[in-house]
Structure 1
Amino acid sequence: MNESFRNNRKKIILAGGNGLIGRILSKYLNLKGYTIIILSRKKSATDKQFQYIQWDGKTPGVWCSGLENAFAVINLTGKSINCIHNEKNKRAILSSRIEPTTALLLGCASCSVPPEIFIQFSSIGYYGDTGHHTCDETTHHGNTFLAGVCKTWEDTFNNFPLPHTRKVVVRCGLVLSPDGGLLPPLMQITRIFAGGAAGNGKQYISWIHHADVAGIISLILQTSHLTGVFNATAPSPVTNASLMSELRKVLHRPPVPAAPAWLIRIIARYLMHTEPSLILEGCRALPANSIAAGYIFYFSELADALQEIIGYRAMKNHLSRII
């Protein structure tokens, strides 16, 4: 039987559905035949093909009726960590995750027919700066600020009883997409011959192609016995130096010197207005549970992922101009 037909009228609620991962999942799951409902703080819909329910991200209210008889809730809420981590932003980063998660949990608990599955997105920031050491879903949390945020966030989710709802935590890595995230600005600086390694370049980047984010979520949705934690990362994390080298190859740029750590700190803080540790620290995460569950990656190697995202699209755009 056609999968889209089987999924017909199954309702998936996306909280934080207007971000990069939300846009990826909403389009993919819509093509799979699910009805997509996005919880949004905005009054008007930004995409007419989806349903929107307004909420404040804090308080249970009339929006909770949208959770009734849903197949799945996927929580993607949270202020971007791409900022200076001063005390004000630290409080906002934490509260923007805890408050919506708590509201969603209370909403699910109030349903007479609660959602079958609740997928809580977290981050590989849970593991902190791992250096050259690998980590998987069994690894203890790190001791950085973001590791503490992820630990508190996941504890909020895991400690709330939802006996009739399957619960899954997805710790997501760096999503490679042409439509947002870190890749477009990295492409921009590489094109202007500034795409060298950051610092010593040894910090690991646990990346994932946007198609595999959707693929892992689809596997979790369709496999009723899967619970617990899943790293959404490719099985081959790379160093910062390797990432920039591959980018230069795809964009046909020559090698350039690395930017020293002190310069990265100045550029990050005063020009990019972001936390330098986001660039200079890394995580070498492996998707052990996704692989054990039988997931087969579309893109397990960085070179193939970048070629698909950048090289194929560049060729397609070139052909469209000359045909």
Structure 2
Amino acid sequence: MKQQLKVILAGGSGFLGLALARSLAARDVEVVILARAPQPAGAPGRWVRWDGRTVEPAWAWELEGAHAVVNLTGKNVNCRYTPAALQEINDSRVDSVRAIGAAIRACKRPPGAWVQSGSLAIYGDAGERECDETTAPGAGIPVDTCLKWEAAFAAEATPGTRKVLYRISFVLGHGGGALRMLVNLARCFLGGAIGSGRQYISWIHGADMIRLWERAMDDPGMEGVYNATSPGPVPNAAFMRELRRALHRPWSPALPSLLVPLGCWFLRTEPVLALTGRRGAPARLLAEGFEFHHTDLRQALRQLFDRD
């Protein structure tokens, strides 16, 4: 009888982690979610407590002989960038990477693959310039976080475990993430362009993101850094227009750049998240033959919200 595969999802209690867990469970994969919170009723997988920074036997032994470990850990960046919040944002990413690396090195049978989350924000506010995996990092607070994050991952030597890092773009899906906030704004007739509206939004449908995670686990030829974004990035004004269309909302006025800080103050977030953007390109994925199922924003949003 073929042995059941086991996949570890570190920090997998968010909406993306749960969606990936359900997809893996449907493939008869044993899913172990490492989380701070106890397992809620109806949640997929088997949950094991961890603090995201300390190597403890209770979770570390789960990696022994696993098919893959996927690290989704990191404090949400959609917050005010106080010194304490920035410290937590950075520490949550770096500490979890170091803990997983140490646990892998202690394994007699290490996981076949380590799939690490990163962010397309590493390219900074790139304007209309297309950013593929060879593009140099930008500048700013989000970039600094990404550089620390990727440096920690690169520093973890894990012989016997293949390493893949996804620079993830704006993920379109139900139940969480930044899309939920934009949906709420659009439903309140506040879904106009933000600032100039020219800043690019690179996006990926949640179903394609799940397929990328599963490909990275299963494909022995994948290694290194990949941009996890669809080949159809659009300016902010176009994104908001298509979101209003999908939600059957009328035209909404743009929010001028001077008023964005005030709106972000009420929403407890940072203007840099709304006013900057980048035009990501999945060059390596396309070169290696990955076929995105969702490349048109209008159709992707319609697929999501026609179910509502």
TM (normalized to structure 1)? 0.91
For this pair of structures, how many residues does the alignment match? Answer: 307
Aligned-residue identity in percent: 39
The partner residue of 2:89 within 90, 93, 108 is 93
Summarize the Cα distance change of 1:48–1:247 in structure 2 as closer, same or farther, 3 Å threshold.
closer
Q: Which amino acid letter does the alignment assign opposite residue 78 of structure 1?
A: G
The partner residue of 2:230 within 231, 234, 245 is 234
Does structure 2 retain, via aligned residues, the 8 Å contact 1:16–1:78?
Answer: yes
Output the CA distance in 1 between the equivalents of 2:86 and 2:134: 26
SS at match of 1:39: strand
Q: Show CA shifts across 1:297-322 (max 9, x none).
A: 11101011011001x214xxxxxxxx
Which position in structure 1 is the counterpart of 2:293?
Answer: 298
Q: Which amino acid letter does the alignment assign opposite residue 192 of structure 1?
A: C
Which position in structure 1 is the counterpart of 2:254?
Answer: 258
Q: Which amino acid letter does the alignment assign opposite residue 46 of structure 2?
A: Q
Does structure 2 retain, via aligned residues, the 8 Å contact 1:45–1:52?
Answer: no
Which position in structure 2 is the counterpart of 1:106?
Answer: 102
**Alignment partner of 1:216 is 2:219:** no
Cα-Cα RMSD: 1.5
Does structure 2 retain, via aligned residues, the 8 Å contact 1:45–1:51?
Answer: no
Which position in structure 2 is the counterpart of 1:37?
Answer: 32
Which position in structure 1 is the counterpart of 2:63?
Answer: 67
Q: Show CA shifts across 1:220-269 (max 9, x none).
A: 22211110111111101011100111112222333222110111111102
Does structure 1 retain, via aligned residues, the 8 Å contact 2:63–2:107?
Answer: yes
Q: Show CA shifts across 1:157-196 (max 9, x none).
A: 1122111100000111111112111223322222232211
1:135: how far off?
A: 0.2
Gap runs ≥5 in structure 1: 315-323
SS at match of 2:48: strand
SS at match of 2:307: helix
The partner residue of 1:205 within 198, 201, 207 is 201
**Alignment partner of 1:183 is 2:179:** yes
Which position in structure 2 is the counterpart of 1:77?
Answer: 73
Does structure 1 retain, via aligned residues, the 8 Å contact 2:24–2:31?
Answer: yes
SS at match of 1:313: coil
The partner residue of 2:189 within 188, 193, 196 is 193
Does structure 1 retain, via aligned residues, the 8 Å contact 2:18–2:43?
Answer: no
- 1:123-202 correspondence runs (5 A): 123-202=119-198
Output the CA distance in 2 between the equivalents of 1:264 and 1:49: 39
Output the CA distance in 1 between the equivalents of 2:220 and 2:143: 29
Q: Which amino acid letter does the alignment assign opposite residue 224 of structure 1?
A: P
Q: Where has structure 1 moved over 6 Å in runs of 4 or more?
A: none
Output the CA distance in 2 between the equivalents of 1:112 and 1:45: 32
Gap runs ≥5 in structure 2: none
Summarize the Cα distance change of 1:247–1:43 in structure 2 as closer, same or farther, 3 Å threshold.
closer
**Alignment partner of 1:313 is 2:289:** no
Does structure 2 retain, via aligned residues, the 8 Å contact 1:196–1:244?
Answer: yes
Does structure 2 retain, via aligned residues, the 8 Å contact 1:125–1:146?
Answer: yes
Output the CA distance in 2 between the equivalents of 1:280 and 1:234: 21
Q: Show CA shifts across 1:131-159 (max 9, x none).
A: 11110111111111111111111111112
Does structure 2 retain, via aligned residues, the 8 Å contact 1:216–1:290?
Answer: no
SS at match of 1:30: helix
Which position in structure 1 is the counterpart of 2:241?
Answer: 245
- 1:267-282 correspondence runs (5 A): 267-269=263-265, 271-282=266-277
SS at match of 2:92: helix
